[in-house]
Structure 1
């Protein structure tokens, strides 16, 4: 019996055919993207690979919009993409649009497993197809922190990215390695620098994030758009013990070497506190709104409320709760 399979059967829709390397899109500069024109009961994408949003009796995506009407952009990686949602109706963008009284649609502008650089480059590649943008919300921060643990050889000057080993293998015509090999320990080569300490990882991650925010700010100011950076929550940061369903799922994931086991120090409250402090100090004064979403969700979450399908991605109810809380925070911040 599997808690993951029994409680979150929709997760099968995010692997298999959808993540088959032969179906992935390969974009210049970004490396990879979602399959195009993919359609299932769980997830569907447009001709460019963007996930569809379903809300207000409409179905739309980043490249299928009426360009006469202004929109609000939700940027991020797999959490924003909606991994864990049982259908396109239950992604954050869908729930934001459904719960927002303002006329603008929220656009799912996310890439699974993206880092901050890929999030920015995706916007640069497709901004010519977008309508006027009234607001940009970047809901991100975890992937960059996880990737900071890669050895220097894979981080390079501009930060690491997921599938990096697959990318280098393809360049040399090697067989694609398994996902688990991304962070597998390998013999240290001559001249290779050890992975960073946790303190160094936080500083390194923050530095990359601030560099990208500088660029986002230039775009936002040119478009007259409001820009907010939201540090996404991690289940362990939100509460020490989740719902009965979450506990069952996390126990099973931990037996397979999940994020909790591999990156236990990232899951700690001390890491969250240090990360927020570093981000807050760096973003302060840039003219970018910053929101740490963990305390917002922690305050609102009920003890028996099932919010996460794993430690990063939300259930359908979790997406709805987060969307309503985020809208409230954004509205209050705008009025203050």
Structure 2
């Protein structure tokens, strides 16, 4: 049995409908989102595709909460969605509900594989459904940086999205026949680069500009809602510690054989990149009047050497979600 099957059997549930190889739901504007009304022992979504969070045994989502009762939003990409959690109650939003003494529930506002443009659009497209919001935490950062190395023809004005090369290629033969060619496979292998890879400094500069640009709009909406806004730079395994615990290293080794994460993103995993990226983000974000937290150095100080935090280099275990939620609440209060 592989390390991944033995240590993280829940990951097969994500492969079914919540991965590029699964049943990806195509949507206008957002590009893709989670299937609505999904039911399983691991992942459950509401009628719009938002994953449920849990509080005191009650399932909560944007579509199910009381319209008059205030909430807190945890927004971001796949880490917020909860890839790696063995059940809805173990996602970061649910653990915040479990560990937060305040009464307002946390809703899971994450979108798998989203960049900052998609995170913002998810808010804009669903703002009319929001109940009163006391607090918004945007827990993000890796995707913009990882996508910053794609060629300009794929980044365009608003940033690249995952597997956009396949999307653009699928549109090419469709020009003569409207959108008939859109059924072509949209999600798959990464496109070949058309230009030399930008330096890590250039990637940080690009990702920072894009993030701050979109966070400015988050700030305007949060101010209208009367909500406190915090941006949290999400941790990566290499940003927290150079070598993981025994379980993590076994998983990382197997995943590197299955995919190309280290080959494609290995330079991003360096701790100095975390510090440089965090410093650049902090300058731009705090200039907006928004609070900024770089979580990796905090985790690095608090984590024990044998503590198992990651199921892969981005996503958390159940205990990892709980541990991160406790640290995050200390920083937010």
* TM, length-normalised to structure 2: 0.93
Contact 1:152 1:195 in 2 (8 A): no
The alignment status of 1:299 with 2:306, answered yes or no, reads: no
Where does 1:309-328 land on structure 2 (aligned, <5 Å)?
309-328=311-330
Deviations 1:178-200 (A, max 9, x none): 63x12x435x4xxxx44322111
User: In the aligned structure 2, how far is the partner of 1:45 from the partner of 1:286?
Assistant: 34
3-state SS in 2 of match to 1:136: strand
> Which of the numbers 252, 264, 272 marks the counterpart of 2:274?
272
Where does 1:146-185 land on structure 2 (aligned, <5 Å)?
146-171=146-171, 172=174, 173=181, 175-176=184-185, 179=188, 181-182=189-190, 184-185=191-192
Q: Which moved more, 1:80-89 or 1:299-308?
A: 299-308
User: In the aligned structure 2, how far is the partner of 1:266 from the partner of 1:303?
Assistant: 22
> Residue 165 and residue 185 in structure 1: after superposition, are their counterparts in 2 closer, same or farther (change >3 A)?
closer
> Which of the numbers 216, 221, 224 marks the counterpart of 2:223?
221
Where does 1:1-336 land on structure 2 (aligned, <5 Å)?
1-19=1-19, 23-171=23-171, 172=174, 173=181, 175-176=184-185, 179=188, 181-182=189-190, 184-185=191-192, 188=194, 193-331=195-333
Match in the other structure for 1:334: none
User: In the aligned structure 2, how far is the partner of 1:77 from the partner of 1:155?
Assistant: 18
CA RMSD of aligned residues (A): 1.6
User: In the aligned structure 1, how far is the partner of 2:222 from the partner of 2:265?
Assistant: 34
Deviations 1:110-146 (A, max 9, x none): 1000000100110111111110000000000001100
The Cα of 1:22 is off from its aligned counterpart by 8.0
User: In the aligned structure 1, how far is the partner of 2:156 from the partner of 2:197?
Assistant: 12
Match in the other structure for 2:177: none
User: In the aligned structure 1, how far is the partner of 2:85 from the partner of 2:73?
Assistant: 19
> Residue 239 and residue 169 in structure 1: after superposition, are their counterparts in 2 closer, same or farther (change >3 A)?
same
User: In the aligned structure 1, how far is the partner of 2:24 from the partner of 2:325?
Assistant: 28
User: In the aligned structure 1, how far is the partner of 2:312 from the partner of 2:97?
Assistant: 24
The Cα of 1:153 is off from its aligned counterpart by 1.1
Deviations 1:301-330 (A, max 9, x none): 111111100000000000000001000100
User: In the aligned structure 2, how far is the partner of 1:110 from the partner of 1:169?
Assistant: 28
Unaligned runs of 5+ in 2: 175-180
The Cα of 1:259 is off from its aligned counterpart by 1.9
> Residue 264 and residue 22 in structure 1: after superposition, are their counterparts in 2 closer, same or farther (change >3 A)?
closer
Unaligned runs of 5+ in 1: 332-336
Contact 1:65 1:130 in 2 (8 A): no
3-state SS in 2 of match to 1:230: strand
The Cα of 1:55 is off from its aligned counterpart by 2.1
Corresponding residue pairs, total: 324
Contact 2:17 2:35 in 1 (8 A): no
User: In the aligned structure 1, how far is the partner of 2:187 from the partner of 2:230?
Assistant: 35
Deviations 1:197-223 (A, max 9, x none): 211110000000000111011011111
Q: Which runs of 4+ in 1 moved over 6 A?
A: none
The Cα of 1:18 is off from its aligned counterpart by 4.2
Contact 2:135 2:227 in 1 (8 A): yes
